[in-house]
């Protein structure tokens, strides 16, 4: 009775009723009504007034709860004396045993034929057979006989192992945990961090995880909030693969990700301070003063040499700044764009979503 009134049971039934698959909703109503009839009084149990609940399949599921399988007595499987006597085979007569004896099989001796070669006869040589010449110098083996040369000498053992496959081997389990997380009131940006985690998982393996999240969106036992997070993560991850992830994160106010470079590409702590590009405060202040004082002078000199400002569409300094920003945006976009962008987006996102949507529409139409 405690299980039927627990929050876990009620959440399971509600998630089943909110599922997109008609079969999942049907089974959720069957489970809810069956458990409610066992723990509630007659007339107060849960009931869904639908035609599906009155069909033969629904009644068959409801009768499974009332099935009583009793164990019979032990004497029913014990053998009786009459049965043991009937199972004893009849003794065969000695005359029939003699008649059924088979004659021994006949065997023939195999005579070996040996060829006798006299000592005076010389062996005939095949004219088509080219003799194997002995090499003068063999760098692999010092033996003069070429038949004794060994080409398969043992080599040093080489250890081969897959490095860095922890995420690839556990992506589905990690995605299942992230999607199934419940909202925590003590965590202010719970939805933003969960969405950022879903995007990072899909971007790490777009073909595999794009199909997995698509199947989870249509067939998973999820609530409305979880289903919305999965669909939003699919759309934003596709844009991030195309190179628009940074702009979307700023627009939506998603939390910024820390440095995601691989640990093996970093120097130790004692050496990173020597080779890092972090400048001292004095060096950064000197560079800033040089930029504020010298760059405007150089830009004004370039503008004065190119003609009066009244005849120009844009000044030289503004053209340099705009071109620099455009090159930076293009380099950042090319760096974050996948190699086979159209193939990844089609096979990992578009085709799975299209096929699952068609299947859902066929289920509703039927």
Alpha helices (H) in the chain, listed in sequence order: 7-17, 22-39, 56-63, 81-86, 94-99, 166-169, 171-179, 190-204, 206-219, 224-241, 245-252, 269-275, 281-306, 316-336, 341-345, 351-365
Task: Return the H-helix or E-strand segment holding 114.
Answer: none
Q: Which helix (H) or strand (E) holds 346?
A: none
CB 352 within 8 A of CB 215: yes
> Angle formed by the axes of helices 224-241 and 245-252, to 10°?
140
The pLDDT of residue 233 is 93
Cβ–Cβ < 8 Å for 161, 177 = no
Q: What is the DSSP letter of 350?
A: I
Domains in the chain, ordered, with CATH? Answer: 7-63 (no CATH), 171-258+340-366 (1.25.40.720)
Q: Are 134 and 147 in contact (CB under 8 A)?
A: no
pLDDT of the chain, 366 residues: tens digit per residue? 667 777 788 888 888 888 878 888 888 888 888 888 888 777 777 888 788 888 888 888 888 887 777 777 777 787 776 655 555 555 545 444 444 555 555 555 555 555 555 555 555 556 777 777 765 665 555 556 666 666 676 666 655 555 567 788 888 999 999 998 887 767 788 888 899 999 999 998 999 999 999 999 998 888 889 999 999 999 999 988 888 888 888 888 787 666 555 566 677 777 777 777 666 778 778 888 887 777 777 777 776 776 666 656 555 556 667 777 777 777 766 665 666 888 889 999 999 999 999 998 988 887
pLDDT value, residue 64: 83
The span from the CA of 16 to the CA of 30, in Å, is: 10
Is the pTM higher than 0.85? The answer reads no
Question: Token pair for residue 63?
Answer: 């009768």
pLDDT of res. 32? 84
Q: What is the pLDDT of residue 122?
A: 53
In this prediction, residue 101 carries a pLDDT of: 56
Q: How many CA atoms lie within 13 A of 241 on its CB side?
A: 28
**Cα–Cα dist 199/262, whole Å:** 19
Task: Annotate 139-184 with DSSP letters as a single string.
Answer: SS---SSGGG---------------S-HHHHSHHHHHHHHHTPPP-
Q: What is the rounded radius of gyration, in angstroms, for the C-alpha atoms of the chain? A: 41
Q: So what's the pLDDT on residue 97?
A: 45
């Amino acid at each position: 009775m405690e299980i039927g009134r627990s929050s876990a049971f009620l959440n399971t039934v509600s998630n089943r009723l909110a599922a997109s698959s008609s079969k999942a909703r049907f089974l959720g109503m069957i489970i809810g009504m069956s458990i409610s009839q066992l723990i509630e009084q007659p007339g107060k149990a849960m009931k869904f007034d639908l035609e599906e609940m009155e069909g033969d399949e629904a009644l068959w599921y409801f009768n499974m709860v009332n099935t009583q399988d009793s164990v019979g007595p032990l004497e029913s499987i014990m053998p009786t004396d009459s049965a043991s006597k009937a199972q004893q085979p009849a003794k065969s007569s000695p005359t029939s045993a003699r008649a059924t004896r088979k004659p021994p099989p006949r065997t023939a001796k195999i005579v070996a034929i040996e060829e006798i070669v006299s000592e005076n006869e010389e062996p005939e040589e095949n004219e088509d057979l080219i003799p194997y010449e002995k090499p003068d110098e063999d760098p692999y083996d010092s033996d003069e006989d070429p038949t004794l040369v060994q080409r398969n000498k043992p080599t040093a053992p080489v250890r081969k192992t897959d490095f860095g496959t922890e995420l690839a081997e556990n992506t589905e389990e990690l995605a299942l945990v992230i999607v199934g997380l419940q909202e925590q009131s003590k965590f202010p940006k719970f939805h933003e961090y969960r969405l950022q985690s879903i995007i990072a998982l899909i971007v790490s393996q777009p073909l595999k995880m794009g199909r997995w999240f698509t199947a989870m969106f249509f067939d998973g036992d999820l609530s409305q909030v979880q289903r919305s997070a999965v669909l939003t993560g699919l759309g934003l991850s596709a844009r991030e693969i195309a190179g628009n992830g940074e702009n979307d994160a700023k627009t939506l106010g998603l939390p910024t990700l820390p440095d995601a470079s691989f640990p093996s590409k970093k120097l130790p702590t004692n050496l990173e301070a020597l080779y890092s590009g972090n400048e001292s405060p004095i060096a950064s202040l000197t560079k800033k003063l040089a930029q504020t004082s010298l760059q405007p002078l150089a830009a004004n000199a370039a503008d004065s040499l190119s003609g009066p400002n009244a005849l120009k569409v844009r000044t030289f300094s503004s053209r340099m700044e705009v071109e620099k920003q455009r090159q930076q945006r293009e380099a950042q976009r090319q760096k974050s764009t996948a190699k086979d962008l159209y193939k990844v987006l089609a096979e990992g996102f578009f085709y799975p979503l299209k096929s699952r949507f068609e299947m859902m529409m066929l289920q509703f139409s039927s």
